[in-house]
Amino acid sequence: MTPAELKLPPIGEPLLEVNGLAKRYGTKLAVNDVSLSIPRGSIYGFLGPNGAGKTTTIRCLMDIILPDAGTMTLGGLPLERRLRDRIGYLPEERGLYRKMTCQDQLAYLAQLKEVPRREALLRAEQWLERLGLSEYVKRKVDNLSKGMQQKLQVAATFIFEPDLVILDEVFSGLDPLNIELMRDLILEEKAKGTTILFSTHMLAEAERLCDAVCLIEGGVKILDGPLDSVRAAFPFRVVRVAYRDGKEPPADLPGVLDRRLDERTWRLELAPDQDPQALLAPLTAAGELSFFSANRPTLSEIFLTAVRRRRADVSGEGSPS
Amino acid sequence: MNKVMIVVRKEYLERVKSKAFLIGTLIGPVLMGAMILGPTLLADVAGDQDRTVAVIDHSGEVLDQLRAMLVDLDEEHVTLEALDCGSDVDGCLEELKSLVLGEGADAGLVIPADYYDRPELTFYNTAASAIVLREDSLEPALNRILRAERFRRHDLDPAIQSELMARSSWESRHLTEESDSEQSGEVGIIGGIMMVMIIYFMVLVYGQQNLTVVIEEKSSRMVEVLLASLRPEELMMGKVLGIGLAALTQVAVWTLAGVVAAGQGVAVAGSQIDLSVFGPWFWFNFLVFFLLGYFVYASLYAGIGAMCNSVQDAQQFSGTLTMGMVLPIMLMMLIIKTPDQPLATVLSLIPLFSPILMFMRISVSNPPLWQVVLSWVLLVLTIWWASRTAGRLFRAGILLYGTSPTWGSLARAMRG
């Protein structure tokens, strides 16, 4: 039941756009001039460490808190309450009515998203079946294990067939089996054309799923865009080495931008045009290697690099010279 | 369906279908009746407590008359135990005192030798409850003895004497435009008090449910899920209305049962209360003050609940609010005695008090129409203010986890 005015853009065109969003708590800027563009039909990762401002941004999107500045549009229309009925939201702080039956629970939440009662009850039953919880239709939520309850919460988010789904820290607290299940669900919904925005601090998980990402830290957007172009913007290689006697790699290696000890191996960040193979000779000349690897940077490495560069920029701008 | 109505439907059905509601509906009237009629009925059943009074009668003649008079006055539960003093007056008094101090007697009484000339009595007691014995039993009896003796001294004709000693008897008839019905004023007051108590209980019990429901919703982390679908104000309105509807259902069931029972010839809540003395105006006001009172308190309780994380947290704030209901109950005697004095008028116009006090005035007196209407208007304005304030508290507090509010943070949130 898309409101008549909402015309969904073609797949790949921006569905949700956020411009200059800001939210201040007291003296602390929780979100500072964040702009996002989320293409329809994509899985969009909203990434950053805990306290980066992800949840605040999402709550502004859902009109749960009022932003101090910024505009938000869905399909080109200002994001009013009515349009939020097209958005499914699974908050990080999520619960269920323990005394309600599973079917009533899902149907109630569907009704609140404008699904007529009969239809809502029917869909609730179908979803419970899909999740392998058919026997719990008429039973109270209390009878469900924690994993099952999480499935029910996810079902409640998708049951009204939203155009956009926002999942806040959806993987946190899940065991590997349920992470797998959640990943499958997200991919299934994406295949149906649903746009999914999910926030997480688990960058490895995001890397596996996302088509596009946005990284924020301290309320400020560090970088965003399709995953490929983000990678392209950070074309450096990462070499990790360790010596049998634990010594440091030589300091005068060619094309090394950054050199630091990271989890018992030395992490060397290479300039984009530096061939990792060329390092092998000087490294082995210095001692007996116990470990050597050369990779494209992971998302979390890109993130760390971007944060470091940004901090360097900021302090550079701030100095009197 | 409107989203508020979906919440109303859920909250209403959840309550009405619960066992607690069924039990409350069944035993509510029993409890209420017991609270109002219980003390009177119990006193009747238990009768008066047997009391022993140790008496030193220096006159030598008053004691016997007192015994006879107590029988005449139906005060046979009072036993008089005479102390024979002889010449040892001081020792005798000591004996009386030790009897009163011990288990021997509930009180002591010393009648002077010249009682008929100087009726100065000394009453010894250890507990304040003995005053009832003095005022209800001994004093009337001894006064009558004194009067009879003084009449006798003046040689009054016994016929005139008994005429002078006569007491008045009373019958009250409740006057309405249509008729006058045989009804003592006291019974009307009891009926009025009963209806006031229904407002009091229902507003408190159901109003406070809004507090616990909101806190539960926060602690079950359900609230943010819901806020993705509806505004905090809508969520609050749905809850307040749904719970209020359940309260109204309960009152409707009781009223209906009362009407049916009365139709069957069974008096409501014991034979003493006849609610038929109250006309449509009374019942209309009952409904108005019940509903308005509920909405004022329910929205404020809900707002407090939104700011707090546990019922314990909420106690200091909700307790203060509850005083708005409790204070008028404490002032009820004042209203019954002087329903139309300026003090009662002013108090009954204060919005937090008027559901109890204005309604009490309506049931024991006939306050001017403008005052009643003014109290409605003030209540409606208060509800408008309270729901806006509660909406603000809701928005400010609903996602606050972990921090307990203070009066300061509450005030800031109320200003929005």
In a domain, B383, yes or no: yes
Q: Which of B378, B398, B415, B376 is nearest to B281 (CA)?
A: B376
Query: Looking at this predicted complex, what is its ipTM?
Result: 0.82
B167 at interface of A, judged by CB pairs closer than 8 A = no
The confidence band for A88, taking pLDDT boundaries of 50, 70 and 90, is very high
Distance CA B335, CA B356 (A): 10
**Chain A interface disruption, residue of B12, B212, B225, B231, most A CBs within 10 A:** B225
Out of B6, B221, B224, name the one closest to residue A111 (CB): B6
Same-domain check for residues B33 and B58? no
Residue A275 burial (CB count, 10 A): 12
Query: Residue B235 to residues A129, A296, B226, B239, B390: CA-CA distances in angstroms?
Result: 30, 50, 8, 6, 11
Distance CA B285, CA B356 (A): 11
Last residue of a domain, one of B101, B131, B162: B162
Same-domain check for residues B7 and B83? no
Out of B1, B6, B225, name the one closest to residue A91 (CB): B225
The confidence band for A17, taking pLDDT boundaries of 50, 70 and 90, is very high
Distance CA B341, CA A45 (A): 71
Same-domain check for residues B223 and B154? no
pLDDT (tens digit per residue) in B176-201: 655 565 554 555 677 788 888 889 98
Same-domain check for residues B145 and B282? no
B132 at interface of A, judged by CB pairs closer than 8 A = no
pLDDT at A320: 44
Same-domain check for residues B25 and B62? no
In a domain, B334, yes or no: yes
Same-domain check for residues B31 and B122? no
Question: Stretch B213-226: mean pLDDT, rounded?
Answer: 87
The confidence band for A7, taking pLDDT boundaries of 50, 70 and 90, is confident
Is B227 close to A62, i.e. CB distance below 8 A?
yes
pLDDT at B376: 94
Question: Stretch B217-228: mean pLDDT, rounded?
Answer: 86
In which order are the strands placed within the sheet that holds B107-111?
A: B78-82, B51-57, B107-111, B122-125
Q: Which of A270, A268, A265, A271 is nearest to A289 (CA)?
A: A265
Same-domain check for residues B218 and B351? yes
Question: Stretch B382-409: mean pLDDT, rounded?
Answer: 77
Same-domain check for residues B248 and B359? yes
B150 at interface of A, judged by CB pairs closer than 8 A = no
pLDDT (tens digit per residue) in A32-77: 999 999 999 999 999 988 888 999 999 999 988 889 999 999 988 8
In a domain, B176, yes or no: no
B5 at interface of A, judged by CB pairs closer than 8 A = no
Tell me: pLDDT of B84 over 50.
Answer: yes
Same-domain check for residues B243 and B303? yes
pLDDT at B255: 79
pLDDT at B175: 64
Q: Which residue of A has its CA nearest to B235?
A: A112
Is A96 close to B222, i.e. CB distance below 8 A?
yes
Tell me: pLDDT of A133 over 50.
Answer: yes
pLDDT at B173: 67
Using a CB–CB cut-off of 8 Å, the residues of A that contact B are 59, 62-65, 81, 84-85, 87-91, 93-99, 108-109, 111-113, 116-117, 153, 156
B205 at interface of A, judged by CB pairs closer than 8 A = no
B412 at interface of A, judged by CB pairs closer than 8 A = no
Task: Please report residues of A whose CB lies closer than 8 A to that of B399.
Answer: 59, 64-65, 93
Out of A94, A98, A116, name the one closest to residue B225 (CB): A94
pLDDT at A271: 83
Same-domain check for residues B30 and B139? no
**Least confidently predicted of A144-153, A310-319, B159-168, B274-283:** A310-319
pLDDT (tens digit per residue) in B117-142: 888 888 988 877 778 888 888 888 88
The alpha-carbon gap from A95 to the nearest alpha carbon of chain B, in Å, equals 5
In a domain, B174, yes or no: no
In a domain, B168, yes or no: no
Decide which of B210 and B49 is more confident. B210
Decide which of B28 and B354 is more confident. B354
Tell me: pLDDT of A319 over 50.
Answer: no
Q: Which of A243, A305, A316 is nearest to A272 (CA)?
A: A305
**Chain A interface disruption, residue of B224, B309, B399, most A CBs within 10 A:** B224
Decide which of A108 and B366 is more confident. A108
Distance CA B416, CA B412 (A): 6
Tell me: pLDDT of B307 over 70.
Answer: yes
pLDDT at B79: 86
In a domain, B345, yes or no: yes
Distance CA B251, CA B51 (A): 44
Kindly report the CATH number assigned to the domain that includes residue B76.
3.40.190.10
Same-domain check for residues B6 and B55? no
Question: Stretch B339-343: mean pLDDT, rounded?
Answer: 86
Number of domains in chain B: 2
Question: Stretch A292-309: mean pLDDT, rounded?
Answer: 85
Question: Stretch A270-277: mean pLDDT, rounded?
Answer: 83
Decide which of A212 and A252 is more confident. A212
Model-wide pTM > 0.90: no
pLDDT (tens digit per residue) in B47-79: 667 888 889 888 888 888 888 888 888 777 888
Parent domain of B132: 51-162
Is B399 close to A63, i.e. CB distance below 8 A?
no
Per the prediction, chain B carries an average pLDDT of 82
In a domain, B376, yes or no: yes
In a domain, B177, yes or no: no
The alpha-carbon gap from A58 to the nearest alpha carbon of chain B, in Å, equals 10
Out of B224, B229, B399, name the one closest to residue A112 (CB): B229
Q: Count Cα atoms within 13 angstroms, Cβ side, for B88.
A: 7
Question: Stretch B310-314: mean pLDDT, rounded?
Answer: 84
**Least confidently predicted of A9-18, A139-148, B271-280:** B271-280
The confidence band for A321, taking pLDDT boundaries of 50, 70 and 90, is very low
Same-domain check for residues B59 and B137? yes
The helix (run of H) or strand (run of E) holding residue A107 is helix A102-111
Tell me: pLDDT of B274 over 80.
Answer: no
Tell me: pLDDT of B268 over 50.
Answer: no
Tokens matching residue B145: 């003895």
* Helices A146-158 and A176-191: angle between axes, nearest 10 degrees: 10
